[in-house]
Amino acid sequence: MAGVQPFLHDLLVTLQAPSQVWSAGDGQVHPNGAQGVYHADVRALSSAVVRVNGVLPESVSAGRTGPGELEAVGLLRMIDTPGADPTVILCRRRTVRPGHVAERLELSSATAEPVAGRVTLRVASDLAPLERIKQGTPSSPLPPAVTGEGVSWHEGDVGVVVAAPGASVAADADGATLTWDVTVPPGRPLTLDWSVRTRAPGVVSAPASAAPEWSVPVVEADDRRLAALVARSLEDLAGLRMSAGFAPEETFLAAGAPWFFTLFGRDSLWAARMLLPLGTDLARGTLRTLAARQGTVTDTETAEQPGKILHEIRGGDLDVGGGTVLPPLYYGTVDATSLWICLLHDAWRWGLAADDVEGLLPALEHALAWMRDHGDNDGDGFLDYADESGHGLSNQGWKDSGDAVQWRDGTLAEGPIALSEVQAYAYEAAMGGAELLDAFGREGAGEWRAWAADLSSRFRKRFWLSDDDGPYVAIALDRHGAPVDSVTSNMGHLLGTGLLDPEEERLVARRLVAPDMSSGYGLRTLSSRSAGYWPLRYHGGTVWTHDTAVTLLGMARAGLGEEAAVLVRGLLDAAPHMGYQLPELYGGNAVGDGPGPLPYPAACHPQGWSAASAVVLLTAILGLSPSDGGLDIAPIVPSPVGALRVEGLRVAGRTATVDVDAHAGATLSIGDA
């Protein structure tokens, strides 16, 4: 159906940035929806379907076997001998590397005599841009050119070459059929190989280094779901590592697959921040990459301003529908600049080398100045946003859908919008920035502490509301300065930032673990009592993994372990339903309302900050915080996962191990640098 975003929840993904393959549950790449072989936001192949004697193999198993690898097993009863037992199988092994997808087709037989058949691979390409696929816009296959060992497609700077050694090739206007006539002897597998290589221009590519920038901890817990979630999440994150052409030696994490397979200021910053207990190298790469494109001028079309950190970067204009067209380098985000400062400060505390920090201090000063000089559009003293281009994002916080900021009765708030969590990020950035300025002998620390104190005072007067359940924080102020009264997850991001006092943090935490906000599988984005609530509304009732993680970490840092444990258990209860790959978001239905959390069908998976949230669980449960080159621990009591041991944490270049017993008695050991 034209104009309908394709679903992803039941598709298998195999990836190694910037390449990815989306296939059906049988491992086949059917010419449907979002299925395809992609590279750098271009669909290189729109189908890759294997048949034997004209019939699809009968799928019995398919799934990942390692980073960037998938294996699908099908039965070949069309060439099998009579009998109840299936004795001829096809194993399809896929490996994805940057710009290269290879498959080995292995046919095995346990029949008494050799079996013969015809294996065909039907491939097609539309070279469609990812944005067109996301919008559900129909595309047509392009005619291929026959080459020595297969077929190819070329259009502009994009080139796709399929090689299938030993196959005969029959091309037509819609694609090509590659054919092998085979005889499979009993007990001796027969293998066929084919591959696709893609060349496509892009501003992001594979990272310079092959190994991830973080340690991989050994996790042992009474609740075994925690270790499974951490292992799967770190494997997924390894596939999201990218570099930008303007900073090729640095590495960051792409926001998510398939739609956001690129640099996003906010998302990449949050993911790097969440991974700090495993090392600071990713944070350094993310900070440097974003600093390389820090705003220098005022440009309404791109939303660039001096000192501002970008929102996202693409290879060309991005038409997301509804009149929203984003330029290749787009700065329409109100929070990435503050979050950049927060990451720099936190990375410094976790042990980022002084020389690395010092090299980023000019960018820090420019970012601080942006908060003061450009962050406030209407002059009320709060950071806010308004799209002045007429074709940019209408909402520019992390909840960036058009209906993300609404009143309790469901009507939409009018901008400029000043989000509550953005004020918390700004407060934390000003205080952290001041600490860095002092530590490195630069001027201005006093000014920023005063600025933060003033912001805190004004926030307390303007953002607090009360209803029958007591006090809570409004999601935002609207264009008239009125506090928007819906109860949302946004206030969870205030916890642990310093903006609230301890009693205010307790009030917020209590509201967030109430049944209208906590689904039992995580934190709903909007209270189920709101008129606009729906469990599958993008920012109006779903659960976002990272949102829950940020909130529970804030609770833990505020000493609210009981409330944090509610959300920890929620994510762990959700994880097995999704194969321990927590996606971008999922349904806000309550525990018991169905067999598990409803999939949000178009959600990205893996998603950078969702996968990184697994490390947040470790940080919160153990109560980790860096301190003068060492590590402080303050575990949640009682531990929500029972006894827990984590080896391979990193602080100031040293390795740390933490043991917590079931009653949260803890020991810490730190090795030499």
pLDDT band at 320 (very low <50, low <70, confident <90, very high): confident
**What single-letter amino acid sits at 531?**
A
Helix axis angle, 361-373 to 336-350, nearest 10°: 140
Q: Where along the chain do its domains lie?
A: 12-200, 205-668
Q: To which H or E segment does residue 103 belong?
A: strand 100-109
Per-residue pLDDT for 1 more than 60?
Answer: no
The angle subtended at Cα 121 by Cα 115 and Cα 122, nearest 5°, is 140
Cα–Cα distance, 358 to 87 (Å, whole number): 65
Quote the CATH superfamily of domain 12-200: Glycoside hydrolase, family 65, N-terminal domain (2.70.98.40)
Which residues are paired to 23 by β-bridges?
12
pLDDT in tens, 9-37: 999 999 999 999 999 999 999 999 999 99
Query: How would residue 120 be classed by pLDDT, with cut points 50, 70 and 90?
Result: very high
Q: What is the pLDDT, as a whole number, of residue 3? A: 78
User: What tens digit of pLDDT does each residue of 203-220 get?
Assistant: 899 998 889 999 999 999
How far apart are the C-alpha atoms of 582 and 9, rounded to whole Å? 11
Place of tokens 């620390």: 445
Q: At 327, is the pLDDT very low, low, confident or very high (cuts 50, 70, 90)?
A: very high
Q: Is 211 exposed, middle or buried (0-12, 13-18, 19+ CB in 10 A)?
A: exposed
Give the CATH fold of the 205-668 domain.
Glycosyltransferase (1.50.10)
Sign of dihedral through CA atoms 544, 546, 551, 553?
positive
Render pLDDT for 359-383 as a digit per residue (tens, 0 to 9): 999 999 999 999 999 999 889 999 9
Kindly state the percentage of the chain with pLDDT values over 90.
95
Tens digits of per-residue pLDDT, 251-289? 999 999 999 999 999 999 999 999 999 999 999 999 999
CA dist 417 and 394 (Å) reads 10
- Cα–Cα distances (Å) from 184 to 104, 168, 346, 618, in that order, read 15, 18, 59, 50
Kindly give the residue spans of alpha helices, DSSP state H, lying in 354-485. 354-359, 361-373, 420-439, 445-462
d(CA 398, CA 28) in angstroms, rounded, equals 35
Count of other CB atoms within 10 angstroms of residue 443: 9
User: How far is it, in rounded angstroms, from Cα 161 to Cα 219?
Assistant: 43
Q: 456: phi > 0 → left, psi -120 to 50 → alpha, else beta; which?
A: alpha
Which secondary structure element, helix H or strand E, spans residue 205, and what is its range?
strand 204-205
Q: What angle is formed at CA 649 by the lines to CA 648 and CA 653, rounded to 5 degrees?
A: 100
Strand (E) or helix (H) holding 44: strand 42-45
Say what the alpha-carbon torsion angle 462, 467, 471, 474 is, to the nearest 10 degrees.
Answer: -40
Long-range contacts of 29-37 (CB under 8 A, 24+ apart): 31/124, 31/141, 32/6, 33/6, 33/7, 34/6, 34/7, 34/8, 34/133, 34/134, 34/258, 35/11, 36/133, 37/101, 37/196, 37/198
- At 557-567, the pLDDT tens digits run 999 999 999 99
Average per-residue pLDDT in the chain? 96
The CA distances from residue 507 to 469, 516, 589, 651, in Å, are 10, 15, 24, 33
CA-to-CA dists, residue 47 to 124, 166, 362, 400, angstroms? 5, 20, 49, 33
pLDDT tens figures, 433-458: 999 999 999 999 999 999 999 999 99
Burial grade of 502 (CB within 10 A; 0-12, 13-18, 19 or more) = exposed
Which strand (E) or helix (H) includes residue 108?
strand 100-109
Q: 610-620, pLDDT tens digit by residue?
A: 999 999 999 99
Residue type, 413: A
Q: What separation in angstroms does the CA of 343 have from each of 70, 174, 276, 382? A: 35, 49, 9, 21
pLDDT band for 470, please (50, 70, 90 cuts). Answer: very high
Burial class (CB in 10 A: 0-12, 13-18, 19+), 390: exposed
Which residues fall within 8 angstroms of residue 579, CB to CB, at 6 or more apart? 232
Report which of 588, 572, 499, 504 is spatially closest to residue 538, judged by C-alpha positions.
588
Q: What is the DSSP letter of 380?
A: S
Report phi then psi at 138, rounded to 5: -65, 150
Residue 673: pLDDT band with limits 50, 70, 90:
low
